[in-house]
């Protein structure tokens, strides 16, 4: 979701950047002061905004450069072998040559896991370039969209699987399905911006409002999700990232009851693999 105002405090001084605020905690973590420094970063952002434009990343999104990711530690067992729903808002103008996985749990090179992506390759048949796709378990189980979403506009993409059938939705509208009776698992963490611990099929663009469910969301529920933020206490919600991060920290807060927070770049240290906090969003 977007910040209401821009990134300047009273008097015209720029607010601290995502890196400046978030990394304070990471630097001091090595000396045992990570929690205090992280709190200080949040307070700094709040103080800067109090006299002027507002906290820079009180509400926002993450921008991925094509070599950046968020890893969600503790999700290696999030296999979801009987039912699942994946949802995300994304905005990109970067054309995809093969495929770009913006959220999922997958080990590249083998048939396993689940993810949402933008797909262009014709290696397994003709497809609409730069259209979304939903994957469960094997390449043959892909459900492909029929319209490009690489247009610089915000789009809501969702995939559901009930143990027998996979379905794909774009902007709250059902676009296709495929019989999918099985799913292979893996021991990797769930991630955003790329899979296989950030090493494979990286995404270029902005993400917001990402969720993972252990239930099958109905068509009506997905249409509602494409029109407003989620209820963090909804039944079956396993992960929910609304990207409303006070202080632009290295942590992406999970609003679900499970509190599985994501880690930008997969480490507490500053890294080129860290996506960038931006004032943007679909709502």
Alpha-carbon gap, residue 7 to 244, rounded angstroms:
15
pLDDT tens-digit map of 199-253: 899 999 999 999 999 999 999 999 999 999 999 999 999 999 999 876 678 999 9
Measured CA to CA in angstroms, residue 191 lies from 78, 195, 217, 253 at distances of 12, 6, 21, 13
pLDDT tens-digit map of 254-278: 999 999 999 999 999 999 999 999 9
Higher pLDDT, 3 or 47: 3
Higher pLDDT, 198 or 34: 198
> What 3-state DSSP class applies to 114?
strand
Q: What is the DSSP string of 184-212?
A: ---SPPEEESSBTTTTBS--EEEEEEEEE
Alpha-carbon gap, residue 91 to 128, rounded angstroms:
18
Share of the chain above pLDDT 70, in %: 77
Which domains, ranges and CATH numbers included, belong to the chain? 61-278 (2.60.120.200)
Alpha-carbon gap, residue 187 to 185, rounded angstroms:
7
Q: The whole model's pTM is what? A: 0.81
pLDDT tens-digit map of 108-149: 988 999 999 999 976 677 789 999 999 998 888 999 999 999
**Average pLDDT for 71-82:** 93
Report the half-sphere exposure of 133 (CA within 13 A, side-chain side).
25
pLDDT tens-digit map of 18-75: 333 333 333 333 333 334 333 333 332 332 333 323 344 546 899 999 999 999 999 9
> What 3-state DSSP class applies to 178?
strand
Confirm if 205 and 213 have CB atoms less than 8 A apart. no
Percentages (nearest 5) of helix, strand, coil residues in the chain: 15, 30, 55
> What 3-state DSSP class applies to 222?
helix
For residue 36, what is the enclosing H or E element? Answer: helix 34-50
């Amino acid at each position: 979701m977007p910040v209401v105002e821009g990134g300047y405090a009273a008097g015209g001084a720029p607010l601290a950047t995502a890196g400046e605020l978030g990394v304070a905690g990471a630097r001091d973590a090595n000396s045992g002061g990570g929690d205090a420094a992280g709190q200080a970063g949040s307070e700094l952002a709040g103080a800067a905004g109090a006299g002027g434009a507002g906290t820079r990343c009180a509400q926002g999104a993450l921008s991925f450069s094509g070599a950046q990711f968020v890893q969600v530690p503790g999700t290696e067992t999030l296999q979801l072998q009987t039912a699942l729903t994946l949802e995300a808002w994304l905005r990109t103008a970067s054309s995809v040559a093969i495929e770009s996985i913006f959220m999922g749990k997958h080990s590249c090179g083998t048939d396993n896991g689940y993810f949402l992506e933008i797909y262009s390759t014709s290696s397994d048949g003709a497809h609409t370039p730069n259209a979304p796709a939903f994957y469960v378990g094997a390449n043959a189980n892909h459900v492909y969209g029929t319209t490009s979403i690489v247009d610089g506009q915000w789009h809501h993409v969702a995939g559901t699987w009930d143990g027998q059938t996979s379905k794909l939705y774009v902007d709250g509208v059902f676009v296709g399905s495929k019989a999918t009776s099985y799913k292979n698992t893996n021991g990797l963490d769930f991630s955003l911006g790329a899979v296989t611990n950030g090493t494979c099929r990286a995404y270029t663009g902005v993400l917001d409002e990402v969720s993972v469910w252990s239930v099958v969301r109905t068509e009506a529920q997905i249409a509602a999700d494409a029109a407003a933020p989620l209820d963090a206490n909804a039944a079956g919600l396993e992960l929910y990232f609304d990207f409303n991060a006070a202080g632009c920290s290295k942590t992406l807060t999970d609003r679900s009851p499970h509190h599985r927070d994501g880690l930008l770049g997969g480490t507490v240290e500053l890294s080129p693999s860290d996506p960038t906090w931006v004032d943007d969003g679909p709502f």
